[in-house]
Structure 1
C-alpha cells in the first residue's frame, strides 16, 4: 500500500468526507487510482470491481469520468451531486439511494447489556437469506466481511436472531432482527455493540440508511449520529 501513501495523506486531510475510501483502501484490493487536481477515483475489488470517487469540483469529476473503462459498471457511495454527471451518457440497471450518518468522537453511548459475540462463517447463509439486497450481494462477500470486518450477533438457544457488521468500506450494515424476536431492543443493542467494536479500532462509526427507513434513521439520531450527506450505489447497463 506504500505506493498510495500520498493519496492516503490527501484523503486524510478531510477524513470524514473520505472515510469510505480510506477504509476501502485498507480492507480491499486496489486495482488503481486516478487523480485530477484534488479529485480521486479509486478502482478496487471486494465482491466485484467498485468505483469510489472523492471530488468537490465538477470539472475534475468530468475529467475522471473520461478515464472510466467500459467495464466500470458498479459505483459505490457516490455523492448526490455527482450522479447526474456520471449518468449523462449511461442508463441504470439499479440505483440505491442512501443517507450517510456518522457518530462524532465526543458522543458517549450507553453500555449494552448484552455480550458482543462475533459472527462466524457458519452464519453467512442466514445473513444472506434474510437480506433485502440479494441482487447486490453474495455469500462470498458476507464471509469476507465476517473475516475482515467487525461483527456482532445475538443468539437465543444457539440460534442467531439478530446481527450487524461492517461493510467493505467500514460502514455499519446488515442490521437485522428476526421478526419473531423484535420488540426486545435487539437492534438497539446490536448497534451499541458494533459502535463499541469500531471505536476500539480507532475508527469513526458511520452508517448508510435508505431515506425511507424512518425507524433506522430515528435509531441513529437518538444515539446522536449526525447527518452527513446523500450517497448512491448504482450499476450501469
Structure 2
C-alpha cells in the first residue's frame, strides 16, 4: 500500500455516519443505466474531461466498438440527460473470471457521485467476489473510500498509486521506433494462439482466465517481435482501458531494447491515428518511469486502484 493513500484511509476512518445518512436521504430510486447504443453520446459529454478520465473513457469506447462483448460493462451515470452528467461508474464484469468486478469511477461533482453509488445495483455489497476500484481524480477516491472502507467496513488488500503519462513527442518516439532489429526478426501483431504465453508472463499464478488474453489479442492493438523461428519474444499491448502495457520480453532476449522499440512503434501508430499514447506507472517504479521518459512520455495526472 502506498504511503499517501494509507494515510488518506486512516485520516478518514472517523467520518460521521450521521453526515452520510443525511447526504443520502431519498436516494433509493433506480440509477440511470446507459445502453451500448447510448455510449457515443456519453463519450461526447466526457470528451471535455477525456484526459482526466482516460481509463474510464477508453473502457467505454472499447465496449462500444465491440458491441459490449469486450469489455462487457454495466454503466451508470448521475443524470438521465447524458449531456448533463457529472459522474460515471462503469462496472467491468469479468466474464473470464466471474469472481471479479472492476469499477471505474469518475466525477466532477462529489455530492452527485455520493448519491449515484448508493443507488440500488450500482455497488454490490457481496464479499464473495474480488473487487477492484479504479478512481480517477482524488475526489472520486475519497468518495469511494468513504463508502467502502468507512461505511461498509471493508479493508483493502492493497492500494496502488499510479502516475499517468502521455506522449506527444513525435521526434523521440520516431527515433526509437525506427531503430533496427535483427534482419531475420520481424514485427507483427500477436496471434491468438500465443494467448497462453502472454498470460504466463503477465500473471504467473494464472488466476485470470485465458479468455482475457485471447480477447486482448483479438480486440486490442498490440505488436510483437518474432525471432527467426517465428516465435514471439517481446510484445506490448494497448489494454482495455487505454493504457499501453502487458509489456514483456522473454529471457534470453532482454536488455536489447526490444520493449522500448515496440512501445515506441505502438505509440507512433496511435499518434498517426490521432490518439494520445497513455501509460500508468506505479509511483515507485523508477525503471519503467526512466524507460518511458526517454521515449517522450511526460507525467500528466494520477490514478488510484483499490483491491478488496
TM-score range, shorter chain: 0.7 to 0.9
The equivalent residue for 2:304 is 232
Q: How does 1:11-160 map to 2 (within 5 A)?
A: 11-28=46-63, 29=68, 30-35=73-78, 38-45=86-93, 47=96, 49-67=101-119, 68-71=123-126, 73-87=131-145, 88-89=150-151, 90-104=154-168, 107-108=170-171, 109-110=173-174, 111-112=177-178, 113-114=180-181, 115-132=186-203, 134=205, 137-156=208-227, 157-160=229-232
Q: Give the length in aligned residue pairs.
A: 235
Between 213-222 and 86-95, the greater mean CA deviation after superposition: 86-95
Deviates more, 1:65-74 or 1:26-35: 65-74
For 1:169 and 1:136, the matched residues in 2 are separated by 20
Question: Secondary structure at 2:268's aligned position in 1?
Answer: helix
Name which structure has the greater RCO, CA cutoff 8 Å, separation 6+: 1
Q: Which residue of 1 aligns with 2:22?
A: none
Q: Decide which moves more: 190-199 or 84-93.
A: 84-93
Q: Which runs of 5+ in 2 are unaligned?
A: 1-35, 80-84
**Which residue number in structure 1 is paired with residue 82 of structure 2?**
none
Normalising by structure 1, report the TM-score.
Answer: 0.86
Superposition RMSD in Å:
2.5
Q: CA deviation at 1:229?
A: 1.9
How far apart in 1 are the matches of 2:76 and 2:197?
Answer: 35
| The structure with more radius of gyration | 2
- Cα pair 1:39 1:57 within 8 Å, conserved: yes
Question: Residues 207 and 228 (structure 1 numbering): CA distance in 2 closer, same or farther, change over 3 Å?
Answer: same
Q: d(CA) in 2 for partners of 1:80 and 1:138?
A: 32
CA distance in 1, matches of 2:253, 2:273: 30
C-alpha distance in structure 1 between counterparts of 2:139 and 2:280, whole Å: 17
User: Hey, which bits of structure 1, 4+ residues long, moved more than 4 A?
Assistant: 132-136
| Distance of aligned partners of 1:190 and 1:137 in 2 relative to their CA distance in 1, 3 Å threshold | farther
Quickly say closer, same or farther: Cα 1:203–1:134, change in 2 above 3 A.
Answer: farther
2:236 to 151, 159, 164: 164
Using the TM superposition, give the Cα deviation of residue 134 of structure 1 relative to its aligned residue in structure 2, in angstroms.
Answer: 4.9
In 2: Cα distance, 1:92 partner to 1:78 partner: 17
Cα deviation, residue 11, structure 1: 0.4
